[in-house]
Chains A and B, each alone.
Chain A
Amino acid sequence: MPEPATTADAKIAQFPRAVAPAIKETPFIRIEGVTKRFGAFTAVSSVSLEIRKGEIFSLLGGSGCGKTTLLRMLAGFEDPTEGRIFIDGQDMTDLPPYERPVNMMFQSYALFPHMTVEKNVAYGLKHMDMTPSQRSDRVREMLALVQLSDFSHRKPHQISGGQRQRVALARALAKQPKLLLLDEPLAALDKKLREATQFELMDIQDKTGTTFIVVTHDQEEAMTLSSRLAVMDKGRIMQTGTATEVYEYPNSKLVAGFIGSINFFDATVRATQGDTAEVEVPELGGMVEARAIPGLTPGQPITLAIRPEKLTISRGKPATANAFPGKVRDLAYFGKDSLYRIQMPSGRVMSVNSVNARRVGENERVADWEDAVWLSFEPAAAILLKD
C-alpha cells in the first residue's frame, strides 16, 4: 500500500526545510543575562546565549549544573530572577507556558496515561484555530513522521519505551512550535536504541526545520546531535561552540575534563616562539613543545592537557619533538581500540588510546604488559590551559 505513505511524505515536505549550511545567522533565541535563584541557591547565574533558527543546540553538564532550570525557564515553568528571554524577537520572559510558541519533550515523556496515542498527539491542537479535519490530518501526519501510524489507538502503557519516546516527540511537534525543548530525550532508552534514535531525531529536525534545544548529561549524545553546544557548570556557561571546537580547543580544565577523557599535567612556561611554546613538565621529565595560546609569559605556571588518542606508542624512540619513555602498566582491549596505562619514570601514569587499525594476534601487538615503550605526540596535540 504505497498510497498513504506518499501522502504522508508530501505532507511532511510542506514543512520549511532547513539545510545545515544555510542556517540563518540572526539569533532566533536570545537569552540575556538570565539568573535564577532558589532562596540562597543560584541555579543559573547570568547566562547569555544566542541560538540561531534551525539549530540543534545542546546544553551539556552534570547534574545540578543548571541546564534543566534554564530549559524550564525557556518553557515558562520557572521565572528568571533576572534577565530576559526573547524568541523570534518577542519578549517571552513574562508569558505563561500556555502562551509561548514553545513545546517541550519531557524526560519522563509525561504522556497522558488515560488517552490513546492519537489523543495525546492531538491534545495541544484543540487550543489552535483549526477545523476538525485539519486536526486529524495533522495528527496522522505527526504519527507518520515518527512511524507510529499503526499504534494510534493504543494507550501509552501498551507500547514500548522507544515508541513512547516517539509519541512524546510527535506530541511536542504537533503544534509546530518555533522552539522545541528536549529534556534528556534519549536517557531512558537502551544503548542500541539510543544510537538509532539520535539519527532519527536529527532527521526529524531536518524535515521540520524546528529549532531544538536539548538538555543532556551525555557528551556523546550532545556531540552527535547538536550543531552547537554549551558546556554548563554551577549555573554558568563555561564554553559555547561546535562539538569540534569544544573537544579540540577547550578553554578550561573543566571543559577539557568533562568532554572526553584527558591527561592533565602541571607545567611551567619556559619560552614562546611564534605559535610554539616550550613548557617544562616535571612529570614527563622534560620540555614539551606545545601550540601557544595568547598571553604566555616565561615562568608562568600552566596546565598541559593531552587527549589519550593523540598519543602514539612505539617500541623505538621516534624522531619527533615530544617523545618520552615509559612502561606499560595496564592494557584493556576493547576490540576497535585499546586503552593503555603507561607509567612514566616519575611514577605518573598516563592513559593512551590506540586504535587497532591492523588485524593482529595477541603476540604481535604494539606493546604488552611491562614492555618499555616510547610515547610521543605532536605539538598541536598539546593543549595549554590557564585554569
Chain B
Amino acid sequence: MEAAHRSPGFRRWFNRRGWIKITIATPYVWLSLFFLLPFVIVIAMSFATRTPTAPPFSFGGDYPVMNTNHYARLIHDDLYVRAYLNSIGNATLATLMCLLIGYPMALGLTRVSRSWRNVLLMLVILPFWTSFLLRVYAWMGLMGTNSWFNKLLTGAYNWVMPADMALRYIPMMNTGFAVVLVTVYSYLPFMILPLYANLEKLDLSLNEAAMDLGSRPFQVFRDVTLPLSLPGIIAGSLLVFIPASGELIIPSLVGSSSRPMIGRVISDEFASARDWPMASAVAVALLLLLVGPLMAYTYFEGKSLEKKKAEGES
C-alpha cells in the first residue's frame, strides 16, 4: 500500500494492465513452483544413482552423464510391466463402471425438480465429508467374511446356485474385485459431477425437436444426448482414470498382495527399498504413459477443430 503511494507509476501500471497480468500469472507461477519444478527434480532423480547416503542418491562424479539403468529395468523386470498392466486394467474397468453407474445418475439429476436436485447433488458430494480412509475401512468391514453384507450375498448366491456349489462365504477381500468395487465407490462423484455439469447445459428443446422429427426416447438419447455429452464423458473418465491408475491406498488395503499395482510399487521403492531413483523412474514412466496419449489426443483434436473451422469459414 505504502509502496503504491510512493510510486504512482506502479499504481497506474497496476490499474491499467497490471492487475490482469498478475491474475494471469498467478496460476502459472503456482504450477511452475509446485508442479513443474518438483517434476523436473523427479526426472533428474530418475537419472541419478542410488547411494547409501542421505538423501539416498547422487549424480556420481561424472555428472551430467545420465544413468539410464532404471528405465532399462522398467522394461526388463516384468514386475513393473505387470504392475502397469494391472493398474491400467483396474483403472479402465473402474472408469467404465463409474460411467455406467454415473451417467444415469447424472442424467437423472438434470431431470428432477430443482429442490430435489439440490438434495440429490448434496448426497453425491456428502461422502467427501467423511475421511477417505474411513470409507475404505468401512468397505473392508462390509466385505469381510463375517459381515452381514457378505452373509446376505452368500445367502442370495446359495439360493440361486445348485446345492453342491454352496459357499460358506464369498471371498471378496484381497481380490481384484474388491479393488475395483472400492475404486468405483470412491471415484463415482468425480464421474457424476462433470457429467452433470455438461448434461445440465444441454438444451431440452433439442430432445423435443428429435422427438418431433420421429425419434423414440431411446433414439433421442442415442442421437442427441449421448453425442452432445461426449465432453462430459471425457472429462469424467479422465478424472476417474488418472487418479485410479496411480491409486495406492485402495489396492494396499483391500487388494491382493500377489497382484502388484503401480502406486504400491512406487511407494515401496521410495519407502521400503529406499531406491529413490528407481521410484522416480517408475513415476515418470507412469506419467508419460497417462499424459502422453492425452496430450496427443488434445493436440490432434485441436488441429482437426481448427481445420474444420477453416473449412467452414472459407
Contact = CB atoms under 8 A, between A and B. Distances in A.
Nearest to A72: B208
Interface string A110-149: 1111100000000110011000000000000000000000
Contact of A104 (B209, B215, B227, B313): B209
Given A110-B203, A158-B313, A98 B208 contact: no
A103 B213 contact: yes
B206 interface: yes
Nearest to B224: A112
Given A108-B205, A114-B227, A103 B212 contact: yes
B211 interface: yes
B210 interface: yes
Contact size class for A? 20 to 34
Contacts of B216: 98
B214 A106 contact: no
Nearest to A124: B213
Contacts of A155: 308, 312
A112 B215 contact: no
Interface string B21-54: 0000000000000000000000000000000000
Nearest to A151: B312
Nearest to B214: A127
A158 B313 CA distance: 7
A161 interface: no
B208 A112 contact: no
Contacts of B213: 98, 103, 123-124, 127, 171, 175
A110 B210 CA distance: 9
A98 B203 contact: no
Nearest to B204: A110
Nearest to B313: A158
Contact of B214 (A98, A108, A110): A98
Interface in B215-258: 215-216, 223-224, 227-228
Contacts of A154: 312
B208 A77 contact: yes
B220 to A, nearest CB: 9
Contacts of B223: 112, 123
A114 to B, nearest CB: 5
Given A155-B312, A171-B213, A110 B208 contact: yes
Nearest to B211: A97
A75 interface: yes
A286 B43 CA distance: 100
A89 to B, nearest CB: 21
A150 to B, nearest CB: 12
A135 to B, nearest CB: 13
Interface in A217-264: none
Contacts of A113: 206, 228
Contact of B206 (A102, A112, A124, A128): A112
Contact of B211 (A98, A108, A175): A98
Interface in A61-99: 75-77, 96-98
B210 A123 contact: yes
B209 A110 contact: yes
Given A112-B224, A114-B227, A155-B312, A104 B212 contact: yes
Contacts of B214: 98, 124, 127-128, 175
Contact of A108 (B203, B308, B312, B313): B203
- 7 closest A-B pairs by CB: A124-B213, A127-B214, A110-B209, A158-B312, A110-B205, A97-B211, A98-B214
Interface of B: 203, 205-206, 208-216, 223-224, 227-228, 308-309, 312-313
Given A77-B208, A97-B212, 6 more contacts: A98-B212, A108-B203, A113-B206, A113-B228, A128-B214, A175-B213
25 contacts: A77-B212, A96-B211, A97-B208, A97-B212, A98-B212, A98-B213, A98-B214, A98-B215, A103-B212, A106-B205, A110-B206, A110-B208, A112-B206, A112-B210, A112-B223, A114-B227, A123-B210, A123-B223, A127-B215, A154-B312, A158-B309, A158-B312, A171-B209, A171-B213, A175-B213
